């Protein structure tokens, strides 16, 4: 009898298993494919490895601005894939070590619930007082004829490409599509992004999304919004524009980046009576499902679909299952788009506040306010946008467009977690010169 | 010489009034007759006009202060003039918010504490009364804080400073708490930090008039032995008289059914004066005149204007007076003297369809009549049954001085008056 049985070794599952193990609980973890999950193997980590090289390509091209003479750079894709594999390999070993040190028993194979406290892995039943479903998500497949053509790759299989495509069509202008657009454009592809909505980076504050759009276009990425992809024939993509005009685009490769789908099938959820649908397993902000003893975290809940959200959800579930009250505060979870330039955000967007009718004040500071940003980005532009409550000045949202914002957005998240008001931030010392000073300035201006 | 502005005496019985809000501030120019403040007695709200042209030099009272009549509330004059001689004397001005009361007496009993050595277990006796209240209101335990008061006593300001510096309460939550928000339970933030979402909105203070109504109602139930009798009177006469008045519109005074019932009540009280009385400090006072109060539903709450000397009024005069007082009461222009002095009260919920209720005595009066809706009742007439309109009557009496039988006799008498209303009214229609 286990205290906890975790299904899925992604950032939600393995962190939760390790935490429970460290609490002295008897824990098992089942994984059918990748230790570390999508994030480590075909998601966050591989894409960031690729994007790091892309950034270096860009830097080399712009090296003269830094007084360095560099000949035209050339990307060696197989060598990059090998580097990615080394990085992933090291991190996967780290996960395995963590689980081992925490006393977690790792079981390889497909796990299914057979009751509310029994899991079966490859025919072997395991009893558990608590079951944590952390099965993650997979790339969504839109109902477009020809989406299964050989020329179409998704965010996992794209890493198997042997060469940089000359022409790349990307279906979807969300964070996945945009990050790959950033990479392939830097690597030399002619990239066209097809987005169904009028705005790219859906969910992002509009001012930030519009600026990112302009910046990516300046880098040579073609972005077509309000466009619906209607069919794929071999390597030709057919689409309809908002006005009804039809068009076609011939590409060497087509990347399907239309989002991610929670993995909820073939898990025995129906048998255990767990409430779920194709949008995910329904959970409370404490990680509980409708069935006592069955918990869920991460992408399979369909809530935030971010690795760090999954980790926190898993920890919250473990805390609650072993008697420590905890809950998730979704509004303070930051998110990042690792394009060049990066977008980092936490909290509400201006559009969300308007829709909710929350009175707010806003401030916007160009990133060039920061000396360090000017040094780092001879051509770059960017924006720090801050939204605070009209009455008390509590920080409601911080949105930054500009490289290295992913590294300091956590400061804003911490401020929001502690419910600091904008004027309180005057007492927080930011190192100089850093890019984060632009964010501080935006917060202080919002306090005025 | 600056001109003082006094709290006016708003009626013979008014001794003090609340300055509800200032419409003008210090330094504002005002002209004679311009409204400078809103004041409220326990009866109604009034506006305070400036008596002269000039500049407001000083406000002597704060919004919400209860001010005795003829006390100077502000001074108007030319900038630079001295106003100190006009300031109300006496030390009964409310203390500044947040001021700690003198504690020399209390602290003498408290052993000196090492002010610099906060301990984790705080002795309750080391807390000043205000500090104790501060913690109690927030359901918080005393923190390990060094007191800055005499003998190391922990003052409210020590706690405010401690909680301001301590991450137990978030900055946003603290701002809310300064506005009266209260902690509901455990904090839901990191390490149990109290976040804004863990707070409840502050309770709303009752408006002055509601406070008075609440106190009157409590006093009424607490000081009397109330019982209610229900009966109904045939309403055929009321309806017929009303129909005739309507038909004679323009040529006859406008009298509605409620006014007719109140007029009948006056007639009944003339014959049974024991209900036209007040019971004060163990003594019964039979009142010679009939001053009939009637409950009036206003935006601010219940008010009871009084028709004085009803026994001398014809039904037309009576009805006109009721209408006039109703209008003034709803407008807020009624004189406080017309809200006092009642000897008997009538309250009507019949127009809202209420069939029977228990009116609460307007103490020290000894009886109150509730008027209910008109309803059809089956009545045996010979061998058959007819449906006849009846008006419900709910009479509450104070059993201390009115027993059940006299109460019932009064209702019987009133029923007769109502049924004879057409002849009582003495109208030529």
Three-state secondary structure call for residue B312: helix
Cα(B381)–Cα(A363) distance, integer angstroms: 84
Token pair of A278 as six digits: 């194709």
Our measurement of the distance from residue B78's CA atom to the centroid of its chain's CA atoms, rounded to an integer in Å, reads: 39
Cβ atoms of B398 and B226 closer than 8 Å: yes
Pairing of strands A124-133, A294-296: parallel
**Above 60 in pLDDT, residue B317?**
yes
Most B CBs within 10 A among A316, A330, A417, A419, hence the mutation to make, goes to A419
pLDDT in tens, A61-108: 999 999 999 998 999 999 999 999 999 999 999 999 999 999 999 999
Question: Phi then psi for A185, rounded to 5 degrees?
Answer: -65, -45
Please give the average per-residue pLDDT across A340-347, as a whole number.
97
Residues contacting residue A300 through CB under 8 Å, at least 6 positions apart:
A8, A133, A134, A135, A136, A137, A262, A263, A264, A280, A281
Least confident of A117-121, B100-104, B322-326, B417-421: B100-104
Please give the average per-residue pLDDT across A318-322, as a whole number.
94
Cβ atoms of B294 and B343 closer than 8 Å: no
* β partners of residue A223: A193
Nearest chain B CA: its distance from A428 CA (Å): 14
Residues contacting residue B76 through CB under 8 Å, at least 6 positions apart:
B2, B3, B5, B30, B50, B51, B52, B53, B54, B55, B56, B57
Please give the average per-residue pLDDT across A313-336, as a whole number.
92
With an 8 Å Cβ cutoff, are A419 and B173 in contact?
Answer: yes
Helices (H) and strands (E) in chain B, counts: 10, 20
- Tokens 């073609």 -> residue: A222
How high is the pLDDT of residue B91? 38
Task: Single out the residue of A284, A298, A262 nearest to residue A132, CA to CA.
Answer: A298
User: CA-CA distances (angstroms) from residue A83 to A59, A76, A86, A340?
Assistant: 19, 11, 5, 21
Query: Does A421 touch chain B if contact means CB atoms closer than 8 Å?
Result: yes
| A411, A417, A421, A427 alpha-carbon torsion, rounded to 10° | -40
Q: Count contacts between A and B (CB, < 8 Å).
A: 33
Token pair of A83 as six digits: 């580097």
Our measurement of the distance from residue A64's CA atom to the centroid of its chain's CA atoms, rounded to an integer in Å, reads: 33
For residue A213, indicate whether it is catalytic.
no
pLDDT in tens, B193-211: 889 988 998 888 888 888 8
With an 8 Å Cβ cutoff, are B172 and A327 in contact?
Answer: no
DSSP sequence for B60-86: -S-TT-EEETT-EEEEEESTT---GGG
A-chain residue closest to B195, CA distance? A419
pLDDT in tens, B73-117: 999 999 888 888 888 654 344 334 344 443 333 333 333 333 333
> Considering chain B, what is the average pLDDT of its residues?
85
Which domains does chain B possess? Answer: 3-86 (2.40.50.100), 124-200 (no CATH), 209-425 (3.30.559.10)
A271-279: long-range contacts, CB 8 A cutoff, minimum separation 24: A271/A113, A271/A114, A271/A115, A272/A113, A272/A114, A272/A115, A272/A116, A272/A131, A273/A116, A274/A113, A274/A133
Letter string b/e over residues B89-116, b meaning 16 or more CB atoms within 10 A of that residue's CB: eeeeeeeeeeebeebeebbeebeebeee
Type and span of the H or E element at A105: strand A104-108
B-chain residue closest to A285, CA distance? B188
pLDDT in tens, B125-175: 788 878 887 777 665 677 778 888 888 888 888 887 776 666 478 889 988
Q: Looking at mean pLDDT, say which of A221-230, B331-340, B420-429 comes out highest.
A: A221-230
Three-state secondary structure call for residue B121: coil
Token pair of B4 as six digits: 């003082």
Cα(B366)–Cα(B345) distance, integer angstroms: 9
Q: Which of A389, A417, A421 sits opposite B189 (nearest CB)?
A: A417
Letter string b/e over residues A326-336, b meaning 16 or more CB atoms within 10 A of that residue's CB: bebbeebbbbb
How many other β-carbons are positioned within 10 Å of the β-carbon of residue A438? 26
User: CA-CA distances (angstroms) from residue B243 to A253, B252, B314, B387?
Assistant: 91, 12, 19, 19
User: How high is the ipTM of this complex?
Assistant: 0.73
Q: Where are the beta strands (DSSP E) in B257-412?
A: 277-280, 283-286, 292-294, 296-298, 301-303, 306-307, 344-348, 367-381, 384-398
How high is the pLDDT of residue B138? 60
Cβ atoms of B162 and B143 closer than 8 Å: yes
Q: Where are the beta strands (DSSP E) in A197-289?
A: 222-224, 227-233, 236-241, 246-250, 253-256, 260-262, 276-277, 280-281
Q: Which of B172, B186, B193 sits opposite A394 (nearest CB)?
A: B172
How high is the pLDDT of residue B166? 60
Token pair of A166 as six digits: 């000359």
Model-wide pTM > 0.90: no
Cβ atoms of A359 and A390 closer than 8 Å: yes
The percent of residues above 70 in pLDDT, for chain B, comes to 88
How high is the pLDDT of residue B165? 62
DSSP sequence for A145-175: TTTTSTTEEETTGGGG-SS--SEEEEE--SH
With an 8 Å Cβ cutoff, are A419 and B188 in contact?
Answer: no
How high is the pLDDT of residue B96? 41
With an 8 Å Cβ cutoff, are A392 and B173 in contact?
Answer: no
Cβ atoms of A291 and A272 closer than 8 Å: yes
User: CA-CA distances (angstroms) from residue A423 to A60, A388, B14, B215?
Assistant: 41, 10, 49, 44
Cα(A274)–Cα(B320) distance, integer angstroms: 73
With an 8 Å Cβ cutoff, are B190 and A418 in contact?
Answer: yes
How high is the pLDDT of residue B121? 52
Three-state secondary structure call for residue B359: coil
Query: Does A420 touch chain B if contact means CB atoms closer than 8 Å?
Result: yes
Nearest chain A CA: its distance from B115 CA (Å): 28
The chain B residues in contact with chain A (CB within 8 A) are 167, 170-173, 175-176, 186, 188-190, 193, 195-196
**Above 90 in pLDDT, residue A347?**
yes
Please give the average per-residue pLDDT across A145-149, as a whole number.
96
How high is the pLDDT of residue B140? 66
Task: Single out the residue of A140, A154, A143, A204 nearest to residue A336, CA to CA.
Answer: A204
With an 8 Å Cβ cutoff, are A418 and B175 in contact?
Answer: no
How high is the pLDDT of residue B119? 42
Cα(A16)–Cα(A4) distance, integer angstroms: 10
Task: Identify all chain B residues contacting A420, using CB atoms and an 8 Å cutoff.
Answer: 170-172
Burial of B357 (0-12, 13-18, 19+ CB in 10 A): middle
Type and span of the H or E element at B182: strand B182-183
> Considering chain A, what is the average pLDDT of its residues?
96
Measured in Å, how far apart are chain A's first and last C-alpha atoms?
59
User: CA-CA distances (angstroms) from residue A401 to A209, A212, A224, A225, A438?
Assistant: 9, 7, 21, 20, 11
With vertex at residue B389, the alpha carbon angle to CA B386 and CA B394, rounded to the nearest 5 degrees, is 130
Token pair of B10 as six digits: 């708003």
Query: Which ranges of A254-338 does DSSP label H, i.e. alpha helix?
Result: 269-272, 307-321
Cα(B136)–Cα(B130) distance, integer angstroms: 10
Letter string b/e over residues A189-206, b meaning 16 or more CB atoms within 10 A of that residue's CB: bbbbbbbbeebbbeebbe
pLDDT in tens, B26-70: 999 999 989 999 888 766 778 898 989 999 999 999 888 888 888
Q: Any idea what DSSP says for residue A73?
A: P
Query: Does A331 touch chain B if contact means CB atoms closer than 8 Å?
Result: no
Please give the average per-residue pLDDT across A414-428, as a whole number.
93
Q: Which of B171, B190, B193 sits opposite A424 (nearest CB)?
A: B171
How high is the pLDDT of residue B368? 97
Cα(B402)–Cα(B165) distance, integer angstroms: 64
Nearest chain B CA: its distance from A115 CA (Å): 33
Nearest chain A CA: its distance from B172 CA (Å): 6
Task: Single out the residue of A207, A167, A206 nearest to residue A189, CA to CA.
Answer: A167
Q: Which of A325, A329, A392 sits opposite B172 (nearest CB)?
A: A392
Task: Single out the residue of A138, A163, A341, A164 nearest to residue A256, CA to CA.
Answer: A138
Residues contacting residue A409 through CB under 8 Å, at least 6 positions apart:
A334, A336, A344, A345, A346, A398, A400, A439
């Amino acid at each position: 009898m286990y205290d906890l049985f975790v299904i899925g070794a992604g950032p939600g599952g393995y962190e939760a298993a390790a935490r429970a193990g460290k609490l002295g609980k008897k824990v098992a973890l089942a994984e059918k494919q990748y230790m570390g999950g999508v994030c480590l193997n075909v998601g966050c980590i591989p894409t960031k490895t690729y994007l790091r090289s892309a950034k270096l390509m860009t830097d080399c091209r712009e090296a003269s601005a830094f007084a360095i003479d560099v000949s035209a750079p050339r990307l060696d894709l197989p060598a990059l894939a090998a580097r990615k594999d080394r990085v992933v390999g090291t991190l996967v070993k780290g996960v395995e070590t963590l689980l081992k040190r925490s006393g977690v028993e790792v079981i390889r194979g497909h796990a299914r619930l057979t009751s509310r406290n029994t899991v079966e892995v490859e025919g072997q039943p395991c009893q558990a007082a608590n079951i944590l479903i952390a099965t993650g998500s997979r790339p969504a497949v839109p109902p477009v004829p020809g989406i299964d053509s050989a020329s179409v790759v998704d965010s996992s299989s794209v890493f198997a490409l042997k060469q940089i495509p000359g022409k790349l069509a990307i279906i979807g202008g969300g964070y996945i599509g945009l990050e790959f657009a950033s990479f392939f454009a830097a690597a030399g592809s002619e990239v066209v992004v097809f987005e169904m909505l009028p705005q790219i980076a859906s969910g992002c504050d509009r001012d930030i999304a519009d600026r990112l759009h302009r910046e990516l276009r300046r880098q040579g990425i073609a972005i077509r919004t309000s466009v619906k992809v209607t069919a794929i024939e071999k390597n030709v993509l057919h689409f309809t524009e908002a006005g009804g005009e039809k068009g076609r685009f011939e590409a060497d490769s087509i990347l399907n980046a239309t989002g991610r789908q929670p993995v909820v099938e073939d898990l025995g959820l129906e048998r255990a009576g767990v409430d779920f649908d194709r949008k995910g397993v329904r959970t409370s902000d404490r990680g509980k499902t409708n069935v006592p003893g069955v918990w869920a975290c991460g992408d399979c809940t369909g809530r935030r679909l971010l690795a760090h959200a999954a980790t926190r959800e898993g920890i919250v579930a473990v805390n609650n299952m072993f008697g420590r009250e905890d809950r998730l505060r979704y509004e303070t979870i930051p998110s990042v788009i690792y394009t060049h330039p990066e977008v980092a955000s936490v909290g509400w967007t201006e559009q969300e506040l308007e829709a909710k009718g929350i009175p707010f004040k806003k401030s916007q500071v160009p990133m060039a306010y920061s000396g360090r940003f000017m040094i780092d980005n001879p051509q770059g532009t960017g924006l720090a946008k801050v939204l605070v409550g009209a009455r008390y000045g509590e920080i409601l949202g911080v949105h930054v467009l500009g490289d290295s914002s992913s590294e300091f957005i956590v400061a804003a998240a911490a401020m929001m977690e502690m419910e600091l008001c904008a004027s309180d931030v005057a007492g927080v010392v930011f190192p100089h010169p850093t890019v984060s000073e632009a964010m501080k300035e935006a917060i202080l201006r919002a306090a005025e | 010489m600056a001109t003082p502005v006094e709290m006016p005496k708003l009626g013979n019985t008014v001794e003090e009034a609340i300055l509800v809000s200032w419409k003008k501030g210090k330094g504002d120019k005002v002209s004679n007759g311009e409204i400078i403040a809103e004041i409220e007695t326990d009866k109604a709200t009034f506006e305070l006009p400036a008596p002269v042209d000039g500049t407001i030099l000083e406000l002597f009272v704060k919004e919400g202060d209860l001010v005795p009549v003829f006390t100077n509330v502000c001074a108007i004059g030319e900038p630079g003039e001295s106003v100190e001689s006009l300031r109300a004397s006496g030390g009964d001005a409310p203390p500044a918010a947040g001021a700690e009361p003198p504690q020399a007496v209390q602290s003498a009993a408290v052993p000196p504490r090492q002010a610099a050595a906060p301990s984790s277990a705080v002795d309750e006796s080391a807390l000043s009364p205000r500090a104790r209240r501060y913690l109690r209101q927030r359901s918080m335990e005393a923190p390990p804080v060094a007191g800055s008061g005499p003998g190391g006593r922990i003052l409210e300001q020590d706690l405010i400073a401690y909680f301001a510096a301590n991450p137990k309460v978030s900055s946003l939550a603290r701002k809310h708490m300064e506005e009266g928000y209260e902690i509901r339970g455990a904090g839901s933030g990191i390490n149990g930090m109290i976040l804004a979402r863990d707070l409840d909105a502050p309770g709303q203070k009752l408006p002055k008039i509601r406070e008075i109504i609440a106190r009157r109602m409590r006093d009424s139930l607490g000081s009397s032995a109330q019982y209610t009798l229900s009966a109904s009177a045939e309403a055929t006469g009321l309806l017929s008289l009303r129909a005739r008045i309507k038909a004679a519109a323009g040529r006859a005074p406008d009298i509605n059914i409620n006014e007719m019932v109140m007029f009948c009540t006056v007639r009944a009280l003339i014959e049974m004066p024991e209900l036209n009385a007040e019971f004060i400090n163990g003594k019964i006072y039979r009142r010679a005149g009939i001053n009939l109060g009637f409950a009036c539903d206003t935006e601010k709450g219940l008010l009871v204007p009084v028709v004085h000397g009803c026994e001398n009024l014809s039904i037309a005069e009576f009805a006109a007076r009721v209408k006039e007082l109703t209008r003034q009461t709803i407008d807020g222009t009624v004189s406080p003297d017309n809200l006092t002095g009642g000897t008997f009260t009538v309250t009507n919920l019949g127009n809202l369809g209420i069939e029977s209720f228990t009116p609460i005595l307007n103490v020290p009066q000894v009886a109150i009549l509730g008027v209910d809706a008109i309803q059809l009742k089956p009545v045996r007439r010979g061998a058959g049954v007819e449906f006849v309109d009846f008006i419900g009557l709910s009479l509450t009496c104070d059993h201390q001085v009115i027993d059940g039988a006299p109460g019932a006799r009064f209702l019987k008498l009133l029923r007769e008056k109502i049924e004879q209303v057409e002849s009582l009214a003495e109208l030529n229609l």
